[in-house]
Amino acid sequence: MVERRSPKPFVVGSSPSSPATNFWKRKKMDKITKFIKDARIEIEKVIFPTKNEIKQSFLSVFVVVTVVSLFLSIIDLVMSSVLKSVL
């Protein structure tokens, strides 16, 4: 019995010794490992805020939210009183 080979022996999946399924699985794993390595490199570049910066940001957000909520509640009171007097 004669072994038959593809006319393109370097093409993946052309011979029983290197089936195409193993090639694609290996290629996917290579992509996944490259993604994980790149993610680690990018995480090392991140500069996380200090405790003092977090406290300052929290305080400024809290003050702004409080002021806006007070403003809206005053507007609501005025509008409701005007509507009650009209109706």
pLDDT confidence band for 82 (50 / 70 / 90): very high
pLDDT of residue 28: 85
Structure tokens, 30: 């290579």
Widest Cα–Cα separation across the chain: 104
Confidence of residue 35 (pLDDT cuts 50, 70, 90): very high
DSSP state of 13: T
**How far is it, in rounded angstroms, from Cα 48 to Cα 41?**
15
Residue with tokens 């570049």: 45
Contact between residue 24 and residue 32 where contact means Cβ atoms under 8 Å apart: no
Phi–psi pair at 78, nearest 5 degrees: -65, -45
